[in-house]
Amino acid sequence: MKNGAEYIIEFLEKKGVEVVFGYPGGQILNFYHYLGRSNLKHILVRHEQAAAHAACGYARVTGRPGVCIATSGPGATNLVTGIADAYLDSIPLIAITGQVKLQDIGKDSFQEADITGITTPITKHSYLIQDLKQLPGVLDEAWQVATKGRPGPVLIDVPKDLFLEQEDMAAIHSHLITRKVAREDNTEKMMPQIVERLSHAKRPLILAGGGVISAGAWDALAELVQRTGIPVVTTLMGKGAYPEDQPLALGMVGMHGLAAANLALSHCDVLLCLGTRFSDRVTGNRRNFLDKACIIHVDTDAAELQKNVITDFPVHRDLNDFFKALLEDPKLVRSEAAGEWSSRIQQWQNQYKQPEAYTGDILKPQALIRSVARLADPRSVVVTDVGQHQMFVAQHYPIRQPRGFLTSGGLGAMGFGLPAAMGAAFGVPGEPVILFVGDGGFQMTLQELATIREHRLPIKIFIMNNGNLGMIRQWQGLFFEAHYVASDLPAFPDFVKLAEAYDVPAFRITTPAELEEKVRQVLSTQGPVLADCWIDTNEYVFPMIPPGGKPQDMIGRWQNETHIRSISGE
Amino acid sequence: MGHTLAVLVENRPGVLTRISGLISRRAFNIESIAAGYTEDKDMTRITIVVREDDDQQVQQLVDQLAKLVDVIRIVDHTHIDSLERELVLIKVKAIPEKRSDIVDIVDIFRANIVDVNRETMVIELSGGQSKTDALCEVLTDYGIIEIVRTGKVIISRGPLPAKAL
């Protein structure tokens, strides 16, 4: 005989879960009573939102599901942002919440919220346990749902009394989702044509998305690139799917993609899209996205095919299976036109180079990121928050390994960075974690400095402090007649003193002259450390494709020009 | 015209909410939705009529619905030889002088009168959509008080169940 709490804990242990992130409360106290006696390591966060983001950070860096725990009502609703983030970025996440007693459900009881209903649109599935006998089946199914196919979050809501109710669980048959009818697979027919197209393309290109990373298919991708010589661009979520220090890695595409990557994308004649969903940040106006190119789209989620962009070869396949079939085909060869194409790309790369050096007295965000990238341990996990700094990191920090770049891509949730870095630090114990975060996003979840200090996590926090909401300011500057409304963050705190209050060592970096030395000091500090970096307030993220535009409309400052102009000349 | 989908789902709490929530969240237009128990006590069958001409869009709806954990199978009946029915109850004004006219109309449509009082009648009709639309239109002249429709249900001709189609 086991009670509900014991069964859940034993289930998690059996699945190899080591760390869970959570925050207690009235309706989940029964669970904590047993959790405290288990082998699971419980990390007490300082706000439930951080539990969800930390579990996400953990899952992103390890590939294993992250687990977060909260109580009913406000505890559960505080998880919502983190769950939505996991949903949009396809991260396996298991949220366990306490609920009011079975007989109190639906009576507007104290701390009651319909969290299964609230999270229905942002989970792969949400479960309310109404009978302890359902628990074994639900846990099995929930784990499968979170991890299989396209990963994502699930939520399991457990009424308080069921944690203590006893049941002979071994006698209960768990019923799994065996009845679902699989979709017909017709990709076999498409394969010869796909091989033909890729082998004889004049301007072939690979667009790698986050799916390559969640499928663990990066080695196969590298093999494909080596064999065919096809250059690779990535989405924000695909960063790290292919090592960015390789010559065929062109970097990120999209709204703030690198010029050469975007130009390659707009000029390619055959595009192989792997595990990506054609987000509006990649396509701009999706109606006329690459209307002349042949697009091959491979995704494990059938619903992503033909959703945002109509493609020529919609392939519903697990990426590993697809790569296997592709690489086994002897007809797959390097295209004869490859040389001409890559020299054209190189030309773009030279013509629209990001500046290497940043001169002047003001600290540029790009210079800071480049300096950290140069000096940091190459094994470091890089985490960002959301906004200008996120795009600067995506453009300027070359990521060499998969699962080495963690960012809130789809949801774009400010406040993600610090707790996600914390979760990542538990996922790869001992390895350094580098966090870039704006002064805005940092102030959304900075309470986690306490958790980070408690566990002495080796997180190097670089606050890209420009005293305002940089991306908002940029949009207001470019598209709202420089009418800056609510984008200034006045009375920002002294972050160095703040860090000291949490007993976290801190530095301040204010000039380019001291940059290198200070970055070295930060990186060589053991345990957590914070650097308050005063960066240029007026810096914009370029290149930028204006919303709804095409790559030709990309604006920026080209080749050290001081004025902003579009790439086509206007 | 629209597409009619037969959606077989696990008979679990909240399944209708999940289906209808997904449809509205993904901005699809729905004409009717009808749910009921089936030959299998663990399975519910939901018939959805989608107001959408673009086949690609319908396929997208099918693919999105198919991802729901509770969904077992979806059959698009658009290109399958099928029988469709809807049940309609119409409360219509029926003063004594007009009653025999209404009874004639009801006979022509092979509908039934299921309730009569001094002033009104309730007429029951089952059939395809055009038939129910036609009856409603004819009865408008007599004064319709209220109409209630179940929404369309559909079943294929021939021996196979939807599960096997």
- Å between B107 CA and nearest CA of chain A: 45
On the question of pLDDT at A38 being above 90, the answer is yes
**Cis amide bond preceding A546, omega within 30:** no
Domain ranges of chain B: 3-79, 83-153
Per-residue model confidence as pLDDT tens digits over A58-68: 999 999 999 99
Give me the count of residues in chain B: 165
Residue A387, classified by CB atoms within 10 Å of its CB into exposed (0-12), middle (13-18) or buried (19+), is buried
Q: How far apart are CA A399 and CA A214, in angstroms?
A: 16
**pTM assigned to the model:** 0.95
Greatest extent of chain B over all pairs of C-alpha atoms, in Å: 57
Which of A284, A239, A543 has the alpha carbon at shortest distance from A409?
A239
Residue with the bigger pLDDT between A567 and B117: it is B117
Strand residue runs (E) in A367-410: 381-384, 405-406
Closest chain A residue to the Cα of B64, Cα to Cα: A303
pLDDT for the residue A553: 85
Q: Which residues contact A292 (CB under 8 A, 6 or more apart)?
A: A269
pLDDT at res. A511: 96
Q: Identify the residue among B18, B43, B57, B69 best suited for mutation to test binding to A, counting A beta carbons within 10 A and taking the highest.
A: B69
Encode pLDDT of B137-151 as tens digits.
Answer: 999 999 999 999 999
* pLDDT tier for residue A569 given thresholds of 50, 70 and 90: low
Q: What is the pLDDT of residue A1?
A: 86
Distance from CA of B150 to the nearest CA of A (A): 26
pLDDT tens profile A121-167: 999 999 999 999 999 999 999 999 999 999 999 999 999 999 999 98
- Cβ distance A72 to A97 under 8 Å? yes
Instruction: Tell me the percentage of chain A whose pLDDT exceeds 90.
Output: 87
B69, two tokens? 């954990």
Query: Touching check for A144 and chain B: CB below 8 Å?
Result: no
pLDDT of A548 reads 83
A188, with CB counted inside 10 A (0-12, 13-18, 19+), is exposed
Residue-level pLDDT at A558:
77
Per-residue pLDDT tens over the stretch A339-384: 999 999 999 999 888 777 788 899 999 999 999 999 999 999 999 9
Q: Regarding predicted confidence, which is higher, A237 or A560?
A: A237
Nearest by CB to residue B73, choosing from A116, A181, A303, is A181
Structure tokens at B143: 């004064």
CATH architecture of A2-171: 3-Layer(aba) Sandwich (3.40)
- B 34-73: CB under 8 A from A: 56, 59-60, 63-64, 66-73
CB contact under 8 A, A120 and B17: yes
Distance, CA of A566 to CA of A368 (rounded, Å)? 26
A153 vs A122: CA distance, rounded Å: 8
User: Residue A460 has what pLDDT?
Assistant: 98
Going from N- to C-terminal start, the domains of chain A cover 2-171, 187-351, 365-539
pLDDT of residue A358: 81
Residue A459 pairs in a beta bridge with A433
Encode pLDDT of A248-258 as tens digits: 999 999 999 99
Q: What is A365-539's CATH topology?
A: Rossmann fold (3.40.50)
Dist. CA B117–CA A559, nearest whole Å: 88
Number of helices (H), then strands (E), in chain B: 4, 9
**CB spacing of B63 vs A125 below 8 angstroms:** no
d(CA A51, CA A155): 14
Q: Are A235 and A208 in contact (CB under 8 A)?
A: yes
Report the DSSP beta bridge partners of residue A468: A488
What is the CB neighbour count within 10 angstroms for residue A13? 13
A141 is catalytic: no
- pLDDT one-digit tens code per residue, A445-459: 999 999 999 999 999
Residues β-bridged to residue A434: A382, A460
Of A109, A144, A104, A101, nearest to A124 by C-alpha is: A144
- Report pLDDT for B165: 81
Residue of B nearest to A142 (CA): B69
In the predicted model, what is the mean pLDDT of chain A? Answer: 94
CB atoms within 10 A of CB B60: 21
Tell me, which fold does domain B3-79 have in CATH? Answer: Alpha-Beta Plaits (3.30.70)
Of A177, A306, A307, nearest to B69 by CB-CB distance is A177
List the catalytic residue out of A111, A447, A476, A521: A111
Closest Cα in chain A, distance from residue B72 (Å): 4
Quick: pLDDT tens for B34-45: 999 999 999 999
pLDDT of A177 over the 70 cut: no
Topology alike, domains A2-171 and A187-351: yes
Please name the residue of chain A whose CA is at the shortest distance from the CA of residue B12.
A127
Residue B111: predicted pLDDT = 96
Superfamily classification of domain B83-153: ACT-like. Chain A, domain 2 (3.30.70.1150)
- A362: tokens are 């003001």
pLDDT band at A549 (very low <50, low <70, confident <90, very high): confident
Task: With CB atoms and an 8 Å threshold, state whether B69 touches A303.
Answer: no
What is the band of A119 on the pLDDT scale with cuts at 50, 70, 90?
very high
Contact A463, A497 (CB under 8 A): no
Which residue in A117, A121, A302 is closest to B25 by CB distance? A121
Query: How many angstroms separate the CA of residue A307 from the nearest CA in chain B?
Result: 6
DSSP string, A133-148: GGHHHHHHHHHHHHHS
Please check the confidence at residue A570 and state whether its pLDDT lies above 60. no
% of chain B residues with pLDDT over 70: 99
pLDDT score, position B1: 63
**How many Å apart are CA A271 and CA A295, to the nearest integer?**
5
pLDDT at A243 over 60: yes
Fold (CATH) for A187-351: Rossmann fold (3.40.50)
